[in-house]
Structure 1
């Protein structure tokens, strides 16, 4: 065979191999597309308009597999398992109040991911963005919409153990003034100024006065509920063994997860409610370990996430210790109820 014919044969073989490769990729892509568009038993999700001011809605991160996974999605609050309208805006964690949203996002890079906090207006348009130093875990907005907070893991990736480090930030969304870490605040513990190299803060929740907030502080292997003062830039310890606090709409109670002795190390929590006037704890009727910052649906009801087939499902429970847990939505996390 002459050289020219050998080259032609080689080129033909390479073309055939390329065609096979392209066909395989297209076939796999088509299968993935069919899977995304028709997940058996999954919620129905379609594109549409999502706002943070439409009354009677629940807005949340959609976890259902498909083209709208991780997008902010809305349903009627009275029908949380109904068809979903997706916004196109993707978040890892989300919260909103009074038309202001905070969306914690991953930015995928060629070598590694970075993270950011995006402040959203009522129509989910970006108002500002801030770098987040690690994996996002919690997000909150003050009832007035004037302040936003987020927590990130900067070492470790789970609250279950003890080998982790967190960073909690607060921003005034009106001025853009950012406090990158609550470690800059003065700590008052047992009536005295407290200093320690191992301080960690997470799980901020705001009161209505645009001054008071609550959070978890950890030091020396223990956790505490702290009350913060945005003007004085102080945090004061109030009660031990409180994680991921969530302030009730009336400002009198804190829902939280509590480490209970004897439970597995990777599932150590139970849901409780603390009365801030009496410091009396009430265990809730959820027997499973909840690793979430619960949301108050109203003054009587809590909503929280537990692991599910798509990553997470939402459950509800009475806040007075009665009743039993009820699943209200599959493939959902980070719920917000718009009045």
Structure 2
């Protein structure tokens, strides 16, 4: 056999092997996609372009369905959140967006352990800035104007906490990049008097439309409080007891939140309420289960939140006035934001 013949045979064999390898990859990819879409009751998901503005009223959230797009931000029509999903390729553990600005809390995988990062996204989900997060991400919010973003993390190592976790809430000005790494730097006023304590914790920031006022939860000495924050004066003032993970209504008059109730199991202690800020009147919502989430206002009348589901979490909705019943909105989803 001549050298030329041997070379031709070798080239032909390599071409066949390359073709087999390519076919195997395509077949595996197709099967992965089918697993993601054909699982009974699972959503249909395709890659595509996702933006935080324009394109009609949509809901963007973290996809929890198993498959190649798990943990990616996906979008679906707000009128049909259980319909087909468009996957962005951007992965987040927690997410929120408003006015074309998003905040994505994500894991950064390292050789020894994971670290966490808060990433500010533009309307096309491109990174504008990022900030280290000192613990496991828990909550995320963007102000209605997109000017400010906030996040909460569970952290360890505080001297007063011993081996337990505490929380750290941060706020950043997305225009200037000025970061307040912890609300513990703010001056606290409780019951009209200055207040200081080593065990103070904050979490669950929610913003008003004036780019100055915000609300959050403060915990100290075994109690929780709704506090009103002032970004300019750098103060926090207590307003109401037993409020966790507040969410301000679009008109700025009501706070939706979870509240610990007497007689509830220790592992399921919360129920959902809405507080009228002017009168202090509380309304229990028609959700009988314990909800550990920061609610999102879909509109002035409807709240959305997550509960455990087969894939990790499902989204539910309930009227904000205490009437009606809770119902499942869509499966395999968490951290919703309404955009468009």
104-113 vs 226-235, which moves further: 104-113
In 2, the alpha carbon distance for the partners of 1:322 and 1:98 equals 30
In 2, the alpha carbon distance for the partners of 1:113 and 1:221 equals 31
Structure 2 unaligned regions, length at least 5: 1-24, 158-162
In 1, the alpha carbon distance for the partners of 2:297 and 2:317 equals 9
Aligned length: 307
In 1, the alpha carbon distance for the partners of 2:164 and 2:39 equals 37
Match runs of 1:137-176 below 5 Å: 137-155=138-156, 163-176=164-177
Moved over 3 A (4+): 29-38
Structure 1 unaligned regions, length at least 5: 1-25, 157-161
Residues 189-230 of structure 1, C-alpha deviations (whole Å, 9 max, x = no match): 011110000000000000000000000000000000000000
1:164, distance to aligned residue in structure 2 (A) = 2.8
Q: Secondary structure at the match of 1:116?
A: strand
Match of 1:220 in 2: 221
Residues 259-280 of structure 1, C-alpha deviations (whole Å, 9 max, x = no match): 0011111110000000001000
Match of 2:323 in 1: 322
TM-score, normalised relative to structure 1: 0.88
Residues 38-77 of structure 1, C-alpha deviations (whole Å, 9 max, x = no match): 4332111110011000231111110000000010000010
Match of 1:236 in 2: 237
1:163, distance to aligned residue in structure 2 (A) = 4.1
After superposition, the CA RMSD in angstroms is 1.7
Decide whether aligned partners of structure 1 residues 315 and 53 sit closer, same or farther in structure 2, where only a CA change above 3 A counts. same
Match runs of 1:246-325 below 5 Å: 246-325=247-326
Q: Secondary structure at the match of 2:184?
A: helix
Match of 1:3 in 2: none
Is 1:205 paired with 2:214? no
1:37, distance to aligned residue in structure 2 (A) = 5.9
In 1, the alpha carbon distance for the partners of 2:70 and 2:130 equals 22
In 2, the alpha carbon distance for the partners of 1:155 and 1:313 equals 29
94-103 vs 54-63, which moves further: 54-63
